[in-house]
Amino acid sequence: MSKITDKNKIKIKIIKNGPYCVFGSVPLTEKIITPVGKHYEYRDGRKLPQKEVYSLCRCGKSKTPPFCDGYHDQIDFDGRETASKLKYATRADLLAGEKIDLMDDHRCAFLRFCHTEKGKTWDLIERSDKLEERKLAIKSAEECLAGRLTAVSKEGRKLEKEFKPAVEILQDPEKEVSSAIIVKGKIKVEGADGKTYEPRNTLALCRCGESDNKPFCDCSHVHTGFKE
């Protein structure tokens, strides 16, 4: 796997009606959303080539997924970005729990890691005075790689680990679909208009081409049965 040499070179540039160009030797892996009992785990998928610069398909029609092969030109892909560039803290609701709180910006990628053996993250927050529930609430919020949920202390401190820069291609065999592109480690995502989205610890980009909240995933891949 290639090494990250210069943090300043790391960036994702969205090409107008085209792919995501990833710069800076960002490690690229495939992960499989795997049901285990009543919870989920990310398991390693196939090995993907490591490159200094690579382009990931955004239209969902490439014949060489997850990479762009130029097919977006043939289908006149409409990749218009419609998502808000406001910061997470502005967009998210704050839900008060017993011992810890939960931020929720409602950007769901249907990854389902908010489902745990002991209930959903929102319910666990309400019972977060109990140690096991609190731990599970923090874990499940952190594993929501869409970046939708963030567990926070009563003082407002984020209760999540900081991810290293990485790009992960998700597969969701349980739903028989291919899922989002996960971007970890506060990588800057620059829109086609040259303006950037807030760098996040983790976020989910659309790669089926159908999201109503481009460039972010809105679980359209599940509704349209997207399979790369």
List residues binding ligand FES (CB under 6 A).
Answer: 18-19, 57-59, 61-62, 68-72
* Rounded least distance, CB 184 to ligand FES, Å: 21
* Rounded least distance, CB 35 to ligand FES, Å: 29
Residue 61 or 186: the one with the smaller Cβ distance to ligand FES is 61
Give how far the C-alpha of residue 102 lies from the chain's centroid of Cα atoms, to the nearest Å: 18
Residue sitting closest to ligand FES (CB): 68
Residue 134 or 207: the one with the smaller Cβ distance to ligand FES is 207
* Rounded least distance, CB 111 to ligand FES, Å: 22
Residue 71 or 88: the one with the smaller Cβ distance to ligand FES is 71
- In sequence order, what E strands does the chain have? 11-14, 20-23, 28-36, 39-44, 53-56, 93-95, 101-104, 115-116, 119-120, 149-152, 166-172, 177-184, 189-190, 196-197, 202-205
Residue 31 or 72: the one with the smaller Cβ distance to ligand FES is 72
Amino acid occupying residue 137: A
Start-to-end CA distance of the chain, whole Å, equals: 24
Q: Are 48 and 14 in contact (CB under 8 A)?
A: no
* Rounded least distance, CB 70 to ligand FES, Å: 6
